[in-house]
Copies of this chain bind each other. A is one copy, B any other.
């Protein structure tokens, strides 16, 4: 089990964005340079973040992205959801499987994965961008 780069990048980029969000839009080029993430890849990620209304875009020169909500309103859950990073521990839910459909027939470990999913999701539900920004408040860069 591991978190993929897409999710990690999304969070890193948003923390970066949140920290420089004060006055002007922040360009992906800047985030790319500061965080060492490929610009092309960032564009894919921000396209999804925009569709889920986590950020707003400002086109043209001096353009970039701004947060669309307050930092305490953006939970990690929202971010992961936006970039399709799903916490799916249970594959046994698939319709086709006769040994486990989650309802009438459950595999030996079905409840376990359900519990785990909840456990992780609780963590993500509680953590907001604000928390992460505060964690880094004493930093220069």
Contacts and interface: CB of A to CB of B under 8 A. Distances in A.
Interface in A85-141: 85-89, 91-92, 99, 107-109, 111-113, 115-116, 119-120, 123, 127, 132, 135-136
Q: Taking the full assembly, how many copies of this chain does it contain?
A: 2
Contact of A1 (B15, B36, B85): B85
Chain A contact patch, size range:
35 or more
Contacts of A4: 1
Contacts of A1: 1-4, 7, 85-87, 120
Interface string A50-94: 000000000000000000000000000000000001111101100
A108 B16 contact: yes
A24 interface: no
A132 B108 contact: yes
A22 interface: no
Contacts of A115: 123
Given A1-B3, A112-B135, A115-B123, 18 more contacts: A1-B2, A1-B4, A1-B7, A1-B85, A1-B86, A1-B87, A1-B120, A2-B88, A8-B91, A8-B92, A11-B109, A12-B107, A15-B108, A35-B99, A35-B108, A108-B136, A116-B120, A119-B120
11 contacts: A1-B3, A2-B86, A2-B87, A3-B113, A8-B91, A8-B92, A8-B113, A16-B108, A35-B108, A36-B99, A112-B135
